[in-house]
Chains A and B, each alone.
Chain A
Amino acid sequence: MKFRHLLSTMTILGTFAASSPALAQTVDVQHYWTSSSESKAMNTIADSFKQRGGKWIDSPSADFDAALAAATSRIAGGQPPSAILMTPSSALRDLASSGQLRDFDDLAAKGGWQKVMAPIVWDKLNVDGHLVALPVGVHAQNWVWYSKPVLEKLKISEPKTFDELFAAADKIKASGGIGIATGGEPWQQVGILYSAFLALGGPEYWNELIVKRSPEALKSPVLTQAFDIFRKVSTYADPASPGRSWNDTTNLVVTDKAGFQFMGDWARGEFLAAGKVAGKDFGCLLTPAEKPGYAILIDVFAFPVNTDDDRIKGQTLLADSIMEPAVQEKIAEVKGSVPSRTDVDTSKLDTCAQIGSKTLATPGAAVQAAYDALAGDLNGQVTDLAGQFWTDKSMTTQAAVESFSNILQSE
């Protein structure tokens, strides 16, 4: 009997907590930006939002899996957050096509947003013809970072091809340093493999292979070449490489212990945080290619359908804050990304960001990164394969290519 009592007490407590007074224009933002540079970027949005009179409820969780679990649980439990930070992956398409997301078609038409975004970005944000997510910044995967002092000391100039890059790395290795710094997590490794596909095959081939998954593309010799390059990079791994996080790996380049690192441009944030200057202390290039592609990863906000009036108004207000050019510029500055609006003043951004902006604006250069283009499941299997190939030296390139083809054709 007592326990029934208890349950009813809990229910009363529950309803009490749920019925806190409504405030005008509130957003409850579920996100995973918790490091210091990410926190700065999120604060840029929050400040702009608060200045417009909104009230921000912060729901952070650094663990991406947990953030997604929390967001979907909240939608299922009837208490959706106002906005979810995510990437335009299959999770976004799932949410949108099951009718869980608010669209911003009207605001987009009013603000002329389509005209100020690169077409590929715009496409990624639309599901079934509706704009269901707003971009906060564009990252790209296929970058190579290097330490200027290390290269200068050995009189190496910026490599233009993979051969030059490997020759430079050998030189650094011979001088006692780490030629190419590599980390130990499978997602870092698969990034190198994807960059090799894009560099060797070019953007059109990439679209055939990763986006359309056409059987023709799987017959190309590019696959074998890319796996060979991937294997070659793995031979530069130092003893501490397995299990090392990407930022500890970047730190090796920052501190001039290593020459190069293959990593997306979030690495730039690490250089900047250490007080380094692009073009002076460190350099950057897109993975060497005849026709450079730009494999983009977009940070976006999706807005689950809310019914509360002040929540809906809050979402609208937040949308305006996110799309504000000044906000976009500031985020790119602190986080290492490139603004998702093409009409933002990029003159203040550093040389690496400018290379990024320019490539993003080049017609046909930008492609979807595999993480967004492949269903989570497929990308996961390729990641497993890459991790396995990286560590298991007895696995042949041929076997790897075969498994890779099987994975891409499995759905």
Chain B
Amino acid sequence: MTQSLPGERSVFGPRAARLGLYAFLFASAAFFLLPLLLVISNSLKPMEEIRQGNLLALPVKPTFDAWLTAWKSACTGLECGGVRPGLWNSIKITVPAVVISTLAGALNGYALAQWKWRHANLIMLLVMVGLFIPYQAMLYPTVKILSSLSLFRTYGGIILVHVVYGLPYTTLLFRNFYVGVPEEISRAARMEGASFLRTFRSVILPLSTNILVVVAILQFTGIWNDYLLGLIFAGNDNLPMTVQLTNIVNNARGSASPNVNMAAAVITAIPTLIVYFLSGRYFVRGIAAGAVKG
């Protein structure tokens, strides 16, 4: 990505500086990897080893038992079926909610940045306020609104909730991206008589691949990891995986089995990790294209 190394020659000798640089990078990598390694290593221990104490010790006799328990037989209520039942629900909630909230954010951001409304900035600020409301404060009003639309505890309802709660975030990111896009591009299209949506679809969207990926990934993690909204708004048939995860990890009055808890945590995080590893490349390019340039 970089063609030349800018600002060559540091104050130190080049070799010493290089060494220091890698020492820092490796130390940082260790800092970032430590918790993940800890969780994975403990999820592979049998209960006897967990009781020994030291969480940082490596497993002596690694086993996938805890993973199997977490996946299909840990108790989550009346049923003891692990996190498996929620996997499909999580996918079917997350995918449409990510797509809609991302596209809607793009549309809003574009409108605010490129169409000269009178109070576009003011509107953006009003939308941004949404980033600072603790969302537990929004539960009750949201329940009332959804039930008046007969969407409370339905599949459509949970998607709508995720879209709405995500809009301030996605709108902000897109708006700040489109502010940096030269106006001439969309003006040319409009001169030829293209409508707002048409301009957006044929001119703006193709420019935005990178930012789309960035926002989609951020939304994916947010929605995938949500627990409370899923519990309240999804309804019994659509409960996401995080509900089962919480029921396994969080039972305050039962015997603790940390290895199963850790395995359950890793299993539920796998889809987001995959998404990151696969699209990390686009992620950085997307940002590099100016995603969050205030």
Contacts and interface: CB of A to CB of B under 8 A. Distances in A.
Q: Is B a genuine binding partner of A? A: yes
B150 A255 contact: no
Nearest to A40: B75
A73 interface: yes
Nearest to A42: B78
Interface stretch (A13-21, A116-124, A202-210): A13-21
A207 B184 CA distance: 78
B255 A35 contact: yes
Contacts of A76: 140, 143-144, 147
Given A14-B155, A18-B154, A66 B255 contact: no
Interface string A252-275: 000100000000001001100110
A235 interface: no
Interface stretch (B16-24, B229-237, B265-273, B286-294): B229-237
B254 A77 contact: no
Contacts of A162: none
Q: In terms of DSSP, what is the predominant structure of the interface of chain A? A: helix
Contact of A17 (B75, B80, B155, B247): B155
Nearest to B100: A6
A64 interface: yes
Given A17-B237, A63-B246, A66-B246, A11 B78 contact: no
Contacts of A60: 76-78, 247
B281 interface: no
A34 B261 CA distance: 13
Contacts of A62: 76, 246-252
Interface in B18-68: 51
Interface string A49-74: 00000001111111110100110011
B243 interface: yes
Q: Among B144, B152, B160, B237, which residue has the most Cβ atoms of chain A within 10 A?
A: B152
B91 interface: no
A72 to B, nearest CB: 8
Contact of B255 (A10, A57, A78, A247): A247
Interface size bracket, A side: 35 or more
Interface in A218-270: 245-248, 251, 255, 266, 269-270
A43 interface: yes
A6 B246 CA distance: 32
B149 interface: yes
A176 B149 CA distance: 65
Contact of B77 (A9, A33, A73): A33
A59 B143 contact: no
Interface size bracket, B side: 35 or more
A205 to B, nearest CB: 29
Contact of B156 (A13, A247, A248): A13
A36 B154 CA distance: 30
Contacts of B70: none
B154 A69 contact: no
B256 A66 contact: no
B154 A13 contact: yes
Contacts of B140: 73, 76
Contacts of B152: 77-79
A46 interface: yes
A14 B246 contact: no
A10 B236 contact: no
B109 interface: no
B246 A9 contact: no
Q: Among B76, B144, B227, B254, which residue has the most Cβ atoms of chain A within 10 A?
A: B254
A324 interface: no
B139 A266 contact: no
B57 to A, nearest CB: 16
Contacts of B256: 245, 247-248, 251
Contacts of A281: none
Contact of A14 (B139, B156, B250): B156
B159 interface: yes
Contacts of A11: 149-151, 156
Nearest to B53: A240
Q: Among B76, B232, B235, which residue has the most Cβ atoms of chain A within 10 A?
A: B232
Nearest to A72: B140
A250 B100 CA distance: 49
Contacts of A64: 252
Given A42-B78, A63-B250, A77-B144, 15 more contacts: A6-B100, A17-B237, A34-B248, A35-B253, A42-B77, A56-B78, A61-B243, A61-B247, A62-B247, A74-B232, A76-B140, A247-B254, A247-B256, A251-B51, A266-B253
11 contacts: A10-B160, A13-B154, A15-B150, A35-B254, A61-B247, A62-B250, A62-B252, A73-B232, A77-B147, A78-B147, A255-B51
Interface of B: 51, 75-80, 100, 104, 136, 139-140, 143-144, 146-147, 149-157, 159-160, 227-228, 231-232, 235-237, 243, 246-256
Closest 10 CB pairs of A and B: A35-B254, A60-B77, A10-B156, A14-B154, A35-B251, A77-B147, A77-B152, A58-B78, A34-B247, A62-B250
